[in-house]
Structure 1
């Protein structure tokens, strides 16, 4: 029986790596008839596709979910569903906020936020939910400060963002509560931008309000506040889980946090893949793919390609990870990558300084149910405090 793959299958989503291994060897060009998409998994193919925005267009969005996949995807998710020159124009104000200098200057504030949330998490004697009580709170607060969301609104924004991203299990269907959450967020962002037009501040919302109309600025806020917090949350959850699942790695992880982050990003990246629209016929590995096809570039599989990463299923903090593509590539390389790395490093440094050991209650673990993102929604943890 041939390999079968869908990112919407909850059984595969729980542990996709055996399926990825088969796709890499048996079906580097894979067609899913039911969901009507083509998947590329090999590192060379995925990397080339990410770099070629002419052949692999972003015009229908980076998600297989319908919606937002389609010619109108940019109305909901802005520049991530655009090609140049519109992509370049709308990405410009964001890129100015995420320069290396500005990100580096944020470290003291990121550390203050991390310490505050860690202290709260550890206040119960060392038993807490790693995701809910720590990993989800830090990146939301950080990106909220960058954007300009007041502290009192952040829990509400996180709740609405999470709800808007949910899908009914095993489907691409947005539940009614998700549609309501999206509508509430749209109204909230509109009010925030209107306030910044009246009273500008030193934040991204003020820059967007000054440069763009609300219909262009609101989708940008959707992308930044949802994806900007969600991906770092899942990076932290995966780092915490995999260092625990590989006890021989844990001491090294605590001592070399950049290596811990890099190998986690390669081994189990938060973003499984991105979608693209094929603009002309393509023959790859002897298979013809027609123009207009919905392409699924499986980043998580490419990061386990043995042609690039020897012993790819080994969680090895000594490996060379320079060729991983966890932050996408080409014109759509994640603009917040440096900030995400900073948040992860600071969070894990504070954890390593505060605890000597920890255990995870696997019976209480829960994963997200979103097809393009893999992470934990619940990760019960018991730590030994220094």
Structure 2
């Protein structure tokens, strides 16, 4: 039987550690080393394995009987274990329970329902852009990319508009980690407590006066003849707010960042190819980097024995760079076929909000392109988010050139 492989090359001497700030800065050389030399990588210090090849990732995500969600999807000890269902709700379940509990909200995120939201999302995007008109310098990440997805999901959940910005601020703090630490710092803990308190109040209010929103729908839905508890609804709110805010907003920011690096991408993206810009960003540098699973029975992968209960980090962001699937994966190519990207996962846990996320990203870039003809980023002023799961920016100070405003004739 093989033994776990620990990297010894220069490029991966530090190994793969999702809590290491150096990995957050640029994980892709380490991913490439893992795919080539350690397709089942082992982190001895934190005692977890990692899958980095596209085929292995897809196989694992499609097989919840072997790679289970029931201990959650996070490697942090405080979030890992059978208690994960209390904070992650149906995300910490396997089929058939996962299918049953996810069912009531599935229709709300279906392609047809999401397509009907396009006009409203454009309105929200324009509302976010209006204060930026005429400002040649602004923070794209903080002032726009993080705000739009948060506004959309908060409105869907019945959160009053006056509370949206505070929800976003607390969500941004929620997943921050100190360099090398699995534990949340005091700011993250305080944000989690504020959000929990707010969500409890929101649930209480919507139980008294339900509205035409997703939270009210969940409150009225029944599973096995029983309505969801307040604890389950609060966990659902954490799940949807965090997923809708974190991943989508940060991927929009990543698109903007790579557009600043690559002038030809910027020109095409701002002048009609926002959809291709979105798709290739999802492949090239998606915010969603890692998810975790627990092995349910002893198994062998790449000649290495995985014992029952072993923790496995699954790296879709690495799979999206797998040269076995994508030609020249380190090239940002707007003409690329992205049908095999796995940024939204695969199998029964494929991201519920994938259609909404794609639509939000495309609209965000289209609406910005309708106002801006070109831009630059102050690379010395950018600031990354430091999360074991999410890759993106807290700050992208930008200088833009606005398109001439059309004169209205009438």
Q: TM-score when scaled to structure 2?
A: 0.92
Corresponding residue for 2:5?
none
1:250–1:176: structure 2 CA closer, same or farther, 3 Å change rule?
A: closer
Question: 2: distance between equivalents of 1:319 and 1:97?
Answer: 30
Distance in 1 (CA, whole Å) between partners of 2:19 and 2:193 is: 25
Given that residues 57 and 278 in structure 1 are in contact (C-alpha distance below 8 angstroms), is that contact kept between their aligned partners in structure 2? yes
Find the counterpart in structure 2 of residue 50 from structure 1. Answer: 61
Match of 1:367 in 2: 384
Q: Which residue of 2 aligns with 1:166?
A: 176
2:251 alignment counterpart: 235
Structure 1 outlier segments of 4+, above 6 Å:
none
Structure 2 counterpart of 1:6, from 3, 17, 20: 17
Residue correspondence of structure 1 range 1-386 to structure 2 within 5 A: 1-2=8-9, 3=12, 4-123=15-134, 125-211=135-221, 212-254=228-270, 255-386=272-403
CA distance in 2, matches of 1:96, 1:216: 19
**CA contact 1:259–1:317 (8 Å) conserved in 2:** yes
Q: Secondary structure at the match of 2:83?
A: coil
Kept after mapping to 1: 8 A contact 2:267/2:374 = no
1 CA distance for matches of 2:310 and 2:354? 29
- Rounded Cα–Cα distance in structure 2 between residues aligned with 1:250 and 1:220: 37
Tell me, in whole angstroms, the C-alpha distance in 1 between the residues paired with 2:155 and 2:85: 25
Deviates more, 1:248-257 or 1:149-158: 248-257
Q: Given that residues 166 and 174 in structure 1 are in contact (C-alpha distance below 8 angstroms), is that contact kept between their aligned partners in structure 2? A: yes
**How far does the alpha carbon of each residue in 1:236-273 deviate from its partner, in whole angstroms, 9 at most, with x for none?**
10111112211122222232221111110000111101
1:311-332 deviation per Cα after TM superposition (whole angstroms, max 9, x unaligned): 1100011111100100011111
Output the CA distance in 2 between the equivalents of 1:90 and 1:205. Answer: 14
SS of aligned partner of 1:112: helix
**Secondary structure of the residue that 2:98 maps to in structure 1?**
helix
Tell me the number of residue pairs that the alignment of Structure 1 and Structure 2 aligns.
Answer: 385
Contact kept? 1:130, 1:381, Cα under 8 Å: yes
Deviation at 1:291, TM superposition (A): 1.5
Aligned partner of residue 370 in structure 2, secondary structure = helix
Structure 1 window deviating more from structure 2 (27-36 vs 92-101): it is 92-101
CA RMSD after TM alignment: 1.2
SS of the equivalent of 1:73 reads helix
Aligned position for 2:407? none
Q: CA deviation at 1:67?
A: 1.8
Identify unmatched segments of 5+ residues in structure 2: 1-7, 222-227, 404-410
Work out the CA distance in 1 between the residues paired with 2:133 and 2:58: 41
CA distance in 2, matches of 1:14, 1:250: 22
1:282 touches 1:288 (CA, 8 Å); kept in 2? Answer: yes
Which deviates more from structure 2 when the two are superposed, residues 63-72 or residues 303-312? 63-72
Distance 1:121 1:138 in 2: 14
Which region of structure 1 is more displaced relative to structure 2, 152-161 or 130-139?
Answer: 152-161
Question: How many Å separate the matches in 2 of 1:246 and 1:176?
Answer: 38
In the aligned structure 2, how far is the partner of 1:180 from the partner of 1:216? 21
1:229 CA drift (Å): 1.0
CA–CA distance in structure 2, aligned partners of residues 99 and 126 of structure 1: 38
207-216 or 222-231, larger mean C-alpha shift: 207-216
